[in-house]
Structure 1
């Protein structure tokens, strides 16, 4: 059975560079990229994520994420989002933008990630369980 798991890199500026490096060095395995938008009382936040096909005969599909580390202020596109989009497009992936609940609305971050996987599967953005 295919196991889809989020691997959190963090939300800092350097973490976005790590995600970009993962995308460019693993381009043949890149399945899809995502920009998740979240709102709470503090404002609008972005999460950047990339899903990769399993390596070799593995049944493990990693989804690397920088969770809610970028605050969206007004209509200006944050520099980290722009860098991520440029890298994804360069590797042939147009990031899918999906509005989601903020992770603070969940009792545990694991439930938050299950919620996202469910949305991605329902929209055929991730392969179904086999």
Structure 2
């Protein structure tokens, strides 16, 4: 199975695309997630949608708006509220995790491999086959 992050942006106008992906794929949604981290003393959040794998093909997309939204627990904001409203409409909980920021990795791909490892370890993603 191929599991891959698909970055839409940092959560400004692309948050609407993330929400639309969730609404259009309501039957494929596995999880809605929020990854919290700190970059340069600023608390930020990435919003994530994990879809179930395609059949056939075994491709599991993980859509992300990376680190562009203020952490809603420190600084409430409309963008997170929109994501939370979507979760409520879809009757899904938002799983929240504290993770290291992408800025400590020399390449974004290493950051995404790290996140996939965390998601597998916590059984949110199936193990490699």
Q: Same fold (TM over 0.5)?
A: yes
**C-alpha distance in 2 between matches for 1:9 and 1:124:** 24
- The gaps in structure 2 that reach 5 residues or longer are none
The correspondence of residues 47-86 of structure 1 with structure 2, limited to 5 A, is 47-72=46-71, 75-86=74-85
- Describe the superposition over 1:59-90 as per-residue Cα deviations: whole angstroms up to 9, x where unpaired: 10000000011123773321111111111222
Query: What's the offset of the Cα at 1:38?
Result: 0.9
Query: SS of 1:62's equivalent?
Result: strand
**Does 2:90 match 1:95?**
no
Number of equivalences: 129
Q: Structure 1 residues 97, 23: CA separation in 2 closer, same or farther (over 3 Å shift)?
A: same
User: In the alignment, which residue of structure 2 is the partner of 1:119?
Assistant: 118
Is residue 32–residue 92 contact of structure 2 (8 Å, CA) maintained in 1? yes
Query: SS of 2:109's equivalent?
Result: helix
**C-alpha distance in 2 between matches for 1:78 and 1:34:** 16
- Describe the superposition over 1:13-61 as per-residue Cα deviations: whole angstroms up to 9, x where unpaired: 2111100000001000001011000102241111000011123312100
Query: SS of 2:22's equivalent?
Result: helix
Q: Structure 1 residues 29, 74: CA separation in 2 closer, same or farther (over 3 Å shift)?
A: closer
TM-score (norm 1): 0.92
**C-alpha distance in 2 between matches for 1:128 and 1:39:** 28
